[in-house]
Amino acid sequence: MLDVEPKNSGNQRGIVAGVEHGEVVRNQGRGHLGAMTSSERLPALVARSWLLARRFQKFLVVGAVGLAVNQLALWILRGKLDFALFIASPAAIFLSMIVTFTLNEMWTWHDRGTGPVIRRVGLYFPINMVGLLINYLVLQLLVDHTGAHYLLANLIGAGIAAIWNFLVNNSITWRAVAGDEPVADSRSVGVQHRAIDDH
């Protein structure tokens, strides 16, 4: 009988096996690359979280200064000069906003301040006016409905407003531009850390 199997069938099987093996290798490579990509995202996320936390620490220091100005102004306007609360509270908060903008511009977000400062002023004050409203509403709510002392109520309102102010100003007023985001490298974390702490 004639041998109907082609003479190069062994080679063909080898080629097929090689192709299959190659597909497996390539698939494994793609899987390995995907795993590397996923693992590389984690350090970047950690770096961004770390830098955000460092910036928030500065913001809290600035906020503490602003709160001291706010409390002192409120005490003078309300406690000493006997202004009505609906006048004394917004005036005290507005004065503290001037102080906190200056400190945030020069310290907290000094590495992001680009372009005319008037643009950031134009963003900062409307955003913080919402914070002022939050602060005032919390103050009035606590004074009117719980009998809390106005200074304590103001402290609570200021804390709630501070969270709003930081998150929105970080995202809009001093938003990150190209080059601000850290890469997944421990050296870049140190560089970004130093950039934030330079002032």
> How would DSSP label each residue in the chain?
----S-TTHHHHHHHHHHHHHHHHHHHHHHHHHHHHHHHHHHHHHHHHHHHHHHHHHHHHHHHHHHHHHHHHHHIIIIIIS---HHHHHHHHHHHHHHHHHHHIIIIITTTT--S-HHHHHHHHHHHHHHHHHHHHHHHHHHHHHH---HHHHHHHHHHHHHHHHHHHIIIIIT---TT-SPPS-HHHHHHHHHHHH--
For 1-33, write each residue's pLDDT tens digit. Answer: 444 444 454 544 444 444 444 444 444 444 444
Does 101 reside within a domain? yes
Residue 35: what pLDDT?
44
Is 30 domain-assigned? no
User: How high is the pLDDT of residue 122?
Assistant: 93
Has residue 144 been placed in a domain? yes
Does residue 17 sit within a domain? Answer: no
Establish if 191 belongs to a structural domain.
yes
- For residues 80-106, average pLDDT: 91
Domains in the chain, number? 1
Domain residues for the domain of 89 are 41-197
184 vs 79, residue with greater confidence: 79
pTM: 0.59
Over the stretch 130-144, which tens digit does the pLDDT of each residue have? Answer: 988 998 999 999 999
Q: What is the pLDDT of residues 152-178, one digit of tens each?
A: 998 899 889 888 989 999 999 998 765
- At 52, the pLDDT band (50, 70, 90 cuts) reads confident
Query: What pLDDT, on a 0 to 100 scale, did the predictor assign at position 96?
Result: 87
Ranges 147-151, 177-181, 188-192, most confident:
147-151
Q: Is 25 a member of any domain?
A: no
Query: What token pair was written down for 122?
Result: 């134009």
* Mean pLDDT computed over 107-113: 87
| 38-65 mean pLDDT | 82
pLDDT for 28 equals: 46
**Does 6 map to a domain?**
no
Is residue 31 a part of any domain in this protein? no
